[in-house]
Amino acid sequence: MLRAVRERDAYANLVLPALLRERGLSGRDAALATELAYGACRSLGLLDAVIAEGAGRSIEEIDGPLLDVLRLGVYQLLRTRIGAHAAVDTSVALARAEFGAGKAGFVNAVLRRAGEKTPEQWVEALAPADPVGRLAFEYAHPPWIAQAFADALGARAAELREVLAADDARPLVHLVARPGDITAEELALVTGGEEGRWSPYAVYLEGGDPGKLEPVREGMAAVQDEGSQLVALALTRAELDGPDNGRWLDLCAGPGGKAALLGALAAIDGFRVDAVEPAAHRAELVRKAVHDLPVDVHVADGRASGLTSGYDRILVDAPCTGLGALRRRPEARWRRTPADVRELVALQRELITAAWDLLRPGGVVVYSTCSPHLPETVSIVADAVRRLGAEQLDTRELLPGVTDVGDGPGAQLWPHRHGTDAMFLAALRKPR
């Protein structure tokens, strides 16, 4: 899996389940494989710094396949309870089988040097001196992402350690119970999970393969972070000026989780949802997610969808850096760069403008991102208010019972406070 991520820019969460099935791993073996694979992806920056120090050369000078073995070995030494002897022996044996005795000796030497210090001693030896850089190194985040989190926390930047620690931990699996088909209480009983804290449709699972659960196979439930559920619910709760005529739109629908929840809620009142997705393969995922719901899927660019205006409620869950969902995408933190932000911000601005043109007077747009990064969140919303004359609603009122989401009028969820992805959301109403 590490090789697929390194060589093909594959997504770990897509590659690993298929490999586990192919190799017939289950139970504790599958859990260990998942921990090693995801953990090594998450911890890449720290692992590479230790490997470079132990090897006496830069990472770029080490062959990629050999680097995969070293990363697995150092991860076991520094971030698991696996015994040092076992971690070194299995890594050396793997190197010998793949590359011969010479390379096995190199792996042995590097791992023995890595094992000479505790994780705390390695942080002390290699971490930058500045406080944010040090925390970023300790919790295996690029410094620019740690700084983005600190900026978003604002006056509560002292929580940065908690954010990074939560982001570096294995998250619970969140399920959504489809309204009208099954309740969260029933879903929790059937799956052995626990009802969620914030969304009336959320259930938490400790782990396992949710695809094997009967309610998921039957389409009565799906995997969806509780923060994403709250975004969809906020759209349905926003107060309109005038009646709700039942025309709802998800302008950035792929892969379909929020469209499915909106569709299930719309079905209760006899409403309909349009779902827009520009990529054909992702549009197909949306169709599968909403196959028996009152949702019409359109393969189109949200900036020029060709749809007729007059929508009551529009969700713009915009493409973003995804910095708020890094705990669920282990390799993503090392792929994103600050250069990605400018292009995404331009796209976000265009999408919110397109949504505004499709909205009826008195209707509401909910803008959301799975990123807390200020240029993608409050800056985009402030720009929309200024350019479009939007009336910004207090989004906190659309999240009843959810505490500590910021000073308003937008709302920011955090993994360390809410156990969700770091979703941002803001509600804008079009003056009549």
* Dist. CA 417–CA 372, nearest whole Å: 14
252 is in an annotated binding site: yes
Per the annotation, does 115 bind a ligand?
no
User: SS3 for 428?
Assistant: strand
* 241 among annotated binding-site residues: no
In degrees, to the nearest 5, what angle opens at C-alpha 378 toward C-alphas 375 and 379?
A: 50
How far CA 363 is from CA of 114, 197, 247, 410, in Å, comes to 59, 29, 10, 17
255 assigned ligand-binding residue: yes
Angstrom distance (rounded) from CA 340 to CA 418: 27
Which of 20, 370, 378, 398 is the catalytic position? 370
Residue with tokens 């770029």: 60
Phi-psi region of 127 (alpha: psi -120 to 50; beta: other; left: phi over 0): beta
Peptide linkage before 200 cis (omega within 30 of 0): no
Backbone angles phi, psi at 205, to 5 degrees: -120, 145
d(CA 211, CA 388): 43
Tokens 């926390």 identify what position?
153
Q: How far apart are the first and last CA of the chain?
A: 54
Is residue 277 annotated as involved in ligand binding?
yes
370 carries an active-site annotation: yes
Q: Is 253 annotated as a binding residue?
A: yes
The residue written with tokens 């969809």 in the block is: 232
Structure tokens, 123 = 């942080």
Structure tokens at 223: 């995997």
Residue 273: its H or E element: strand 272-277
CB 274 within 8 A of CB 307: yes
Strand partners, 295: 273
Residue 317, annotated as binding a ligand: yes
Residue 356, judged by CB atoms within 10 A of its CB (0-12, 13-18, 19+), counts as buried
Give the torsion through C-alpha atoms of 159, 163, 165, 171, to 10 deg.
150
Residue 103 phi/psi, 5-degree rounding, is: -70, -35
Contacts of 339 (CB under 8 A, 6+ apart): none
| Residue 430 annotated as part of some ligand binding site | no
Helix, strand, coil share of the chain (percent; to 5): 55, 15, 30
d(CA 393, CA 427): 5
409 among the known binding-site residues? no
Binding residues for S-adenosyl-L-methionine: 252-258, 277, 301, 317
Q: Could you give the residue numbers annotated as active site?
A: 370
Binding residues: 252-258, 277, 301, 317
